[in-house]
Each structure stands twice: as C-alpha cells, then as structure tokens.
Amino acid sequence: MRILKLTVLTMGGVLLAQDQMPTIKVDVDVVNILASVRDKRGALIPSLQKEDFTILEDGKAQPIKYFTKETDLPLTIGLLVDVSGSQRNLIDIERSAASQFFREVLRKKDLAFLISFGEESELLQDYTGSARLLTEGLGQLRVSSGVSGIHPGPVPTIGSPRGTVLYDAIYLAANDKLKGEVGRKVIVVITDGVDQGSRLTRNQAIEAAQKSDAVIYSIDYSDPGAYGTFGFGGGGGEGELRKMSDETGGRVYKVDRKHTLDQVFKELQDEMRSQYSIAYTPTNEVKDGGYRHLEVRLGNKDLKAQARKGYYAIKP
C-alpha cells in the first residue's frame, strides 16, 4: 500500500491529499465519489466547478466537502483478461493493445496488476508501475485449460474446472487486491461477458467492487466465429457487463469492426484522466453496514454524470 504525505482514511472511500507535512493518518467519515461528465453527444466535460454538482444520499442533499478535477490522486488499475476458449483468436490483439495502453496511461505513483481468467483465475503480474513488467505479464496470456484443484498463485480459484469465472475474478480483484489500496481504483475487464461456473454471483462481484471503491470498466469483446452453430453471433453478455459497470460508475465499451480495441483503450485513458473527485461527510452518521443510494445531479440539464450508484456504510 502506498502512503503519501497526507493520508485520509474514509468510510465510503479513501481520499488522499499531499502536503509538506510529515505522514499523518486520520480516521474521518468521508464518502468519496469519482464522476465523469458527458454532454448529449457523449463528449467528456472536464471543466466544471464544485457549484455545478449536487450530491444526494438516499434522496437527501449532502454538503460537498472536497472537490478536485484532473486529480493527481494515484491510479491503481486491475486489468482482467478473459482467456476462455471463446477468446482464443483475440488474445494476441488484446496483448498488443493492453501493452500500449499501459505504456501511455501509467504515470508516477500509478500501479497496475494483471489477472487472466477462464476456468481459473491467475495473477500474471502483481502491483507494478513498470509498463515493461506488465507487457511481460501479458506475454503469459494463454487459453485457460481445465486444471482442477487449488491454483497455487496469489489469486486462487478453488475447486473443479469451470467455464469462464468472470464474477469470481472481479470479486478477487476488488476484495483481495484493491480493498486496501488508496486513491482511484479501476477494474478493466476484457471479456465477452459470459460467466460459466463462478461460485459467486454478479451481485456479489458488484458489492465487492463497491466496498473497495473500485470502478468497473467493461470492454465487450467477442469473436463471433468462436460460438459455433449456437453462438448467436457473439458472446451475448453485454447486459451483465452493463449492470456491473453502471452500478460502480464505469461504462461498457463495445469492440467491433468500426471500433477497435486500440480506440477503446484510448477512450478509456481519456475518461480516467477527466474525472472529478467529490467527497462529503454524510448527514446520516449511522454506520450499520447498510447500502446507501447515491445520485449525482448537475445544474446543467444537458449534461449527465457517470458515478457509482451507492456505497456501504461500514465503519472506517
């Protein structure tokens, strides 16, 4: 875990600031929201002010305590790559595009890790700020074969062979890797969206991401030729991906002939560098672990905010 000059641990998220003071840790009740704003044409709007936003928790307006745009908060990225049999013909493209993405997006203090998932989950590269090491990890991407038992790696999958453990992989990335990290936390998952055999549900994966304050960005990428006679022309999991991304404040990017994976990664990079960090102290001080609904409203009705739908009121 990285410790900056000033670390503020929060209830609904972690808010960091830098100063010249010695390292200090303070427990405060602050909910942190990362938001992106787009106009009607879908263009990112990076120039709004604090006064343009209203935050509602369970329908009640909350006074904004901290507001930052184009923040220098560290960015931690977990890249999850589907290596099930249906993705066999896409892995080389994914490897190349993701390597370029890491080279362009990672800045000083940023970290990333890499997980592949198919019939099991495997940590190919642990936390690093090195694009070179991440590229080497991408070089290990292989179609997942049915290996039963407990995988010996740091992110194990327990049990017999399965199909595509998408939900399990997201849960592990959020709960085991990102929960203790600080700053902005992002899960980027490249998959056709089809889960086969996860022991955890989609809602459990969403809850883990919300509790770790991680935003899920889904890249819907499928090979229509991999699904055979009953393939329906593609993976068909876009609805599942949209639910996970919408609930955590992310979005779904669709790869097709007119919209390449390289273009998607460029758009994702732009979005992650155009976020607003908004934090408030809840007027409801009860920390019962319950779910609180969040809504981000904008003064300009022609703009739309993209942010997580809620958080869990757990103790710091």
User: What is the H or E stretch that residue 126 is in?
Assistant: strand 121-128
83 and 48 inside one domain: no
Could you report the per-residue pLDDT of 127-162, keeping only the tens digit for each?
999 999 999 999 999 998 554 333 434 444 444 445
Could you report the per-residue pLDDT of 97-132, keeping only the tens digit for each?
999 999 999 988 899 999 999 999 999 999 999 999
Six token digits for residue 149: 């038992």
Least reliable range by pLDDT among 22-26, 171-175, 184-188, 250-254: 22-26
Could you report the per-residue pLDDT of 10-34, keeping only the tens digit for each?
444 444 444 443 433 444 588 999 9
210 and 116 inside one domain: yes
93 and 240 inside one domain: yes
Q: What is the C-alpha radius of gyration for the chain, rounded to an integer number of angstroms?
A: 19
132 and 31 inside one domain: no
Q: What is the mean pLDDT of the chain?
A: 85
* 1 domain residue, yes or no: no
From the list 73, 133, 135, the residue with the least C-alpha distance to 107 is 73
What domain range includes position 155? 75-272
Domain count, the chain: 2
Query: What is the strand order of the sheet 310-312 is part of?
Result: 60-62, 53-57, 291-298, 310-312
287 and 142 inside one domain: no
* 174 domain residue, yes or no: yes
* 136 domain residue, yes or no: yes
Q: What is the share, in percent, of the chain residues with pLDDT greater than 90?
A: 69
* 64 domain residue, yes or no: yes
| Average pLDDT for 251-255 | 95
64 and 89 inside one domain: no
CATH of the domain at 283: 2.60.40
Q: Does the predicted model carry a pTM greater than 0.85?
A: no
CB atoms within 10 A of CB 7: 19
103 and 178 inside one domain: yes
